[in-house]
Amino acid sequence: MERVGLATGWLQGCGGCHIALLDLHQEFIEILDWIEIRYSPLNDRKRVPEVFIGLIEGAVANRDHERFLREFRERSKILVALGTCACFGGVGGLRNLFLKEEVLKCAYVETESTVEGKIPGGEGLPELLEGVKPVHKVVEVDLSLPGCPPPPGMIKGSLWALLKGEKPQIPTRNLCEECDRERREMLIPKRDFLTDAVHSPFELLSINPHNCFLEQGVLCMGPATREGCGARCLKGNMPCRGCMGPTPGALEQGAKMINALASILPAGELMFREDVVGVGYRYSLPVSIYPHLMHEGKNG
Amino acid sequence: MSLSRCGGLISETIDLHSLASQYAHLAMVKVYDDIFAAPDIEALLADLSTAEVEAVVLAGDSQRRFQYTRKGMLLIEHLAERGINFNRIAFANLREQVALCHRGRREETTQKAKLLIDVAIAKVECSARGEVVEVAPHRSILILGSTLGGLVAAQGFLERGYHVYLVDRTDQLRTISPWEEEVQALLTAVETHPQASFLLGSTILDFSGWCGDYSVQVANEQGPQGLAVGGVVVALGGDKGWTDQLRGFLHIDVDAVGFFTVKDELTLPVQTIDEGICVIPRYEGDNALHYQLTRGDLAVLALTQVLEHPQIKHEVRISKVDPDLCGACGTCVKTCPFKASTIDALRKISVVDPRRCKGCGNCVVACPTGARDLAAFPNDYFLRAIDILGQYEPPEGIKVLLLLCEGCGYAGLDFVGMRGFTYPLGILPLGVPCGGRVDTQYLLEAYHKGFDGILICRCEDGHCRNIVGNVDLDRRANLFREVLRSRGIEPERLQIFSVAHCQSNACAQTAAQFAEKLKQVRILKK
């Protein structure tokens, strides 16, 4: 039987989504009975061949990403945005809080160095875009698989569905649905805050692994984050940081979390203790309703 | 759509016929002289029967005139009888929000009036048909407060065959010394009546339900007990402490000093925004005796008028829950001050009790997944309204979104119009049910659509009818200002203010000052 062609591409990302593919272990070898990897960052091929499924990792941050992504889209029958960076811009998207010049200056000039700093540029170097963009802002995307990295099971399930010509089912509720931690105070109709103080996990001598983080005064993004990861961080006794992005019902993750927190944790404490912007938009700033600095003439 | 000239008040300023010609695509567009005058009401109803109309936009008077005065409420009742769903009636306030405050600028006001009509049309288009529930009313009444007014009402209901529960937190009937003699006969009549139960020295533990069917938990020395009543008369006199305690249970407005108040002193003198609750307001004038006696009787009249119907219709304005999005996190449970949200542990989904929900929309905002929506003020409507208003190009250049809460803000801006005060054209009003319905997502959306600033006018601290709408709005805004800073949007571009019980020019002043401040910010930026 002829195997189906698959290509994987890599834009501004850490490569973790490719590792997630490998994290399928022997199951990945089973998949290889059905698909053939015709292009990937590890193949030495100059051009993307025509394939059935294209998996693209990372966000669009420079002109070369744009060019490559367009080519990749053209050659893939089904384009899958793989991982949080491709879906929402990811951590690298936090640079949208600054102007491009500020970012370059900070990275190459102002940072301590043994040599005098100079902003690189010129021929051969792709120009940095004003702002980081998710893949769907540049080309049409057929399927988005969020997660930093996307859970291997979800990748596999989606690939199988696509091979069978079905629509992959990605769960749509929030993480609390999957989380095994017990919620007690959250379910009592009482207007008092859950705790008087807000803590970072490292400040606490111990964290009860069976109880809701919010009830212990630790900011957890779970309520404003899409399920599907199996609450893996929470099982490791760390609060959710929101990498799966918002649920399909929310316009954006950060503002929704702010709305929710009003009756949950003390706002004053939160502002003092937490980086509200960093927490709410850690992974999703480029898909925020207002993703950029308010400067005239700034392109998306 | 119906456009009302408001007896010429509007047509002086706005070119209604040019406006009407822009809506030729609608099923019906008509200009009436005065929508509250009998010939025009008849004409409107006759016109409605000729065309297939599913929704009605009433452009002209303030929505408050349709909700808070008898003549307006009667007109809405007529529309309901013609089969127009309550959720498909919207208002464009061309009188107070355009004509009266921007006199003499025909072209600009006509343009602004069109925007407000477009927003009203968006509202009926985005709102689904609202569900109506019917309940058979209980023939029993709860009287809160053994004041003279309360006793008069009690006697009135007893005479009409109702069972009356007279509840007070004091151990004895409130001493009404100057009127001892007048009251004695009344008191005897009530005390000796077999259908009257006195529950003195009581506290209210819980209160839920709607007109015709309230459930009340009362406790006193004899222990707790549950009452089922059809209506409530609140006659607390000057007992501020008890008023404060009861505010968490009764969904009615308070006046400038925090006492329960009525819809309209003149035409609805005991009625409140909850159809089944009447208030005998505190009164300390010369004719206190007279006042209490008449208000007591009026409360009996108002409530029996409703409770005599075999079935009472209730419009369900509550929020819906989308099972595909709700993960049962419990945020709505923590948010709702009326205890209307609970988590169904078996189905792992949040459920709303329609008898407790007041339709304020705070949970819709709080829900971190977007699983909830308000039947009467859906998410899509606000996004479209912001989009429509955002397209306006004001002559002064500065564009401000002015969000007005239904409790005070809306009336505050109406007051400005009625007094003929003016403010810049670029201040664009949009009504919200409560400060708690202001989603920070909408604020970002408004900046995104080109508004220079956002003003939110809400009730004074402690006066929110939904108890915590103000509080949650402020908390959200505090956190949200960080988000604004991070985007290079000056936090001053978001301002929240309150109006002292609607009777001040604060709205116009604040709006004008805010627009001026934004102009300065803009100059500084350049």
Q: Distance, in angstroms, between B397 CA and closest chain A CA?
A: 16
Token representation of residue B262: 């009525």
- How many Å apart are CA B111 and CA B22, to the nearest integer? 11
| Residue B119 located in a structural domain | yes
Pair B322, B366 in one domain: yes
Beta strands, E only, B251-362: 277-279, 312-316, 319-321, 341-344, 349-352
Chain A stretch 204-223, residues whose beta carbon is closer than 8 A to a beta carbon of chain B: 222-223
Averaged pLDDT, A174-198 = 95
Pair A23, A133 in one domain: yes
| Residue A270 located in a structural domain | yes
- How many Å apart are CA A237 and CA A268, to the nearest integer? 25
Pair B62, B123 in one domain: yes
DSSP string for B470-490 = HHHHHHHHHHHHHHHHHTT--
Of B325, B341, B479, nearest to A271 by CB-CB distance is B479
| Residue B339 located in a structural domain | yes
| Residue B209 located in a structural domain | yes
Closest-CA residue to A16 (of A283, A287, A214): A283
Q: Distance, in angstroms, between B92 CA and closest chain A CA?
A: 27
Is A274 part of the contact surface with chain B (CB cutoff 8 Å)?
no
Distances (CA, A) of B206 to B90, B217, B227, B319: 34, 5, 10, 22
CA A75 to centroid of chain Cα atoms: 24
Q: Is the pLDDT of residue B75 over 90?
A: yes
pLDDT tens per residue, range B214-230: 999 999 998 999 999 99
Q: Distance, in angstroms, between B345 CA and closest chain A CA?
A: 10
CA B521 to centroid of chain Cα atoms: 35
- How many Å apart are CA B292 and CA B295, to the nearest integer? 5
DSSP state, residue B129: P
pLDDT for B175 equals 60
Q: Tell me phi and psi for residue B16, to 5 degrees.
A: -65, -35
Q: Which helix (H) or strand (E) holds B135?
A: strand B131-135
Pair A138, A192 in one domain: no
Pair A158, A198 in one domain: no
The total domain count for chain A is 2
Q: Which helix (H) or strand (E) holds B294?
A: helix B288-307
pLDDT tens per residue, range B329-377: 999 999 999 999 999 999 999 999 999 999 999 999 999 999 999 988 9
Report the residue of B319, B437, B439, B440 to disrupt the A interface, i.e. the one with the largest count of A CBs within 10 Å.
B440
Pair A232, A148 in one domain: no
Chain B stretch 305-324, residues whose beta carbon is closer than 8 A to a beta carbon of chain A: 322, 324
Chain A stretch 98-157, residues whose beta carbon is closer than 8 A to a beta carbon of chain B: none
- How many Å apart are CA A229 and CA A222, to the nearest integer? 11
Q: Distance, in angstroms, between A167 CA and closest chain B CA?
A: 17
The enclosing domain of B339 has a CATH number of: 3.30.70.20
Cβ of A189 within 8 Å of Cβ of B342? The answer is yes
Cβ of B333 within 8 Å of Cβ of A187? The answer is yes
B-chain CB neighbours of A289 within 8 Å are 441, 444-445, 448
CB B184 within 8 A of CB B148: no
Token representation of residue A240: 């959710």
Of A175, A255, A293, nearest to B441 by CB-CB distance is A255
| Residue B46 located in a structural domain | yes
Is B441 part of the contact surface with chain A (CB cutoff 8 Å)?
yes
CB-CB neighbours of B382 under 10 Å: 26
pLDDT for B522 equals 80
Pair B302, B347 in one domain: no
CB A57 within 8 A of CB A8: yes
Pair A51, A14 in one domain: yes
Closest-CA residue to A173 (of B343, B370, B336): B370
Cβ of B369 within 8 Å of Cβ of A255? The answer is no
pLDDT for B177 equals 61
**Alpha-helix residue ranges (DSSP H) falling in A76-183:** 84-88, 100-105, 152-163
Q: Which amino acid is at A278?
A: G
Cβ of A173 within 8 Å of Cβ of B334? The answer is no
Of A223, A251, A255, nearest to B329 by CB-CB distance is A223
Q: Is the pLDDT of residue B320 over 70?
A: yes
Of B441, B443, B472, nearest to A263 by CB-CB distance is B472
Flag the least confident range among A81-95, A195-209, B499-513: B499-513
The enclosing domain of B502 has a CATH number of: 3.40.50
Averaged pLDDT, B299-308 = 96
B-chain CB neighbours of A239 within 8 Å are none
Token representation of residue B126: 């985005």
pLDDT tens per residue, range A59-104: 999 999 999 999 999 999 999 999 999 999 999 999 999 999 999 9
| Residue A211 located in a structural domain | yes
Pair A17, A152 in one domain: yes
Q: Is the pLDDT of residue A272 over 80?
A: no
Q: How confident is the model at residue B387 (pLDDT cuts 50, 70, 90)?
A: very high
Is A294 part of the contact surface with chain B (CB cutoff 8 Å)?
yes
Pair A207, A154 in one domain: no
Beta strands, E only, B408-462: 427-432, 453-458
Is B230 part of the contact surface with chain A (CB cutoff 8 Å)?
no
Q: Which helix (H) or strand (E) holds B288?
A: helix B288-307
Residue B331 structural domain: 317-374
DSSP string for A230-245 = -SHHHHTT-----TT-
Q: Kindly report the CA angle at A111 between A105 and A115, in degrees rounded to 5? A: 100
Cβ of A173 within 8 Å of Cβ of B487? The answer is no
Q: Is the pLDDT of residue B319 over 80?
A: no
Is B334 part of the contact surface with chain A (CB cutoff 8 Å)?
yes
Cβ of A262 within 8 Å of Cβ of B472? The answer is yes
Pair B75, B220 in one domain: no
- Rounded (10°) angle between helices B70-81 and B38-50: 20
Pair A22, A147 in one domain: yes
Cβ of A294 within 8 Å of Cβ of B489? The answer is yes
Residue A266 structural domain: 175-287
Q: How confident is the model at residue B301 (pLDDT cuts 50, 70, 90)?
A: very high
Chain B stretch 461-480, residues whose beta carbon is closer than 8 A to a beta carbon of chain A: 468, 471-472, 475-476, 478-480
Residues of chain B above pLDDT 70, percent: 98
pLDDT for B501 equals 64
Cβ of B448 within 8 Å of Cβ of A290? The answer is yes
Residue whose tokens read 């040019």: B18
CB B258 within 8 A of CB B238: no
Q: Which of B25-34, B258-267, B294-303 has the highest mean pLDDT?
A: B294-303
A-chain CB neighbours of B328 within 8 Å are 176-177
Give the sign of the dihedral formed by CA B168, CA B172, CA B177, CA B181.
Answer: positive
Pair B32, B148 in one domain: no
B414 Cβ contact partners less than 8 Å away, ≥ 6 residues apart = B62, B64, B93, B96, B97, B502
pLDDT for A1 equals 64
Q: How confident is the model at residue B478 (pLDDT cuts 50, 70, 90)?
A: very high
Is B336 part of the contact surface with chain A (CB cutoff 8 Å)?
yes
| Residue A219 located in a structural domain | yes
- How many Å apart are CA A194 and CA B263, to the nearest integer? 37
| Residue A22 located in a structural domain | yes
Pair B268, B331 in one domain: no
Pair B196, B281 in one domain: yes
pLDDT for B217 equals 97
Pair B358, B384 in one domain: no
- How many Å apart are CA B483 and CA B113, to the nearest integer? 33
DSSP string for B27-65 = S--EEES-TTSHHHHHHHHHHHHHS--S-EEEESS-HHH
Q: Tell me phi and psi for residue A182, to 5 degrees.
A: -80, 130
Cβ of A250 within 8 Å of Cβ of B370? The answer is yes
Pair A280, A258 in one domain: yes
Is A297 part of the contact surface with chain B (CB cutoff 8 Å)?
no
Cβ of B325 within 8 Å of Cβ of A248? The answer is yes
Last residue in a domain, options B297, B312, B327: B312
Q: How many beta-carbon contacts under 8 Å exist across A and B?
A: 167
Pair A78, A159 in one domain: yes
DSSP string for B336-384 = -TT--EEEETTTTEEEE-TTT-----HHHHH-TT--EEESSS-HHHHHH
Q: Is the pLDDT of residue A283 over 50?
A: yes
The enclosing domain of A88 has a CATH number of: 3.40.50.700
Q: Is the pLDDT of residue A297 over 60?
A: no
| Residue B135 located in a structural domain | no
| Residue B473 located in a structural domain | yes
The total domain count for chain B is 4
Q: Quick one: closest CA in A to B335, which residue?
A: A263
B-chain CB neighbours of A223 within 8 Å are 327, 329, 331, 368-369
Cβ of B486 within 8 Å of Cβ of A183? The answer is no
Cβ of B368 within 8 Å of Cβ of A259? The answer is yes
Residue whose tokens read 């803590």: A199
pLDDT for B436 equals 96
CA atoms within 13 A on the CB side of B480: 29
Token representation of residue B143: 């009287």
DSSP state, residue B95: I
pLDDT tens per residue, range B410-432: 999 999 999 989 999 999 999 99
Is A252 part of the contact surface with chain B (CB cutoff 8 Å)?
yes
Pair A12, A139 in one domain: yes
Q: How confident is the model at residue A300 (pLDDT cuts 50, 70, 90)?
A: very low
Cβ of A256 within 8 Å of Cβ of B326? The answer is no
- How many Å apart are CA B48 and CA B79, to the nearest integer? 9
Pair B206, B333 in one domain: no
Chain A stretch 229-248, residues whose beta carbon is closer than 8 A to a beta carbon of chain B: 246-248
Beta strands, E only, chain A: 4-10, 35-39, 51-57, 60-62, 76-82, 128-133, 143-145
Of B322, B334, B443, nearest to A263 by CB-CB distance is B334
Q: How high is the mean pLDDT of chain B?
A: 92
Pair B80, B21 in one domain: yes
Pair B384, B368 in one domain: no
Averaged pLDDT, B487-495 = 92
Cβ of A294 within 8 Å of Cβ of B480? The answer is no
Pair A133, A205 in one domain: no
Q: How confident is the model at residue B179 (pLDDT cuts 50, 70, 90)?
A: low
pLDDT for A299 equals 36
Last residue in a domain, options B99, B130, B161: B130
Pair B185, B279 in one domain: yes
Is A262 part of the contact surface with chain B (CB cutoff 8 Å)?
yes
- How many Å apart are CA B83 and CA A73, to the nearest integer? 52
- How many Å apart are CA B17 and CA B33, to the nearest integer? 12
| Residue A294 located in a structural domain | no
Is B483 part of the contact surface with chain A (CB cutoff 8 Å)?
yes
DSSP string for B223-240 = EEEEEEESEEEE--TT-H
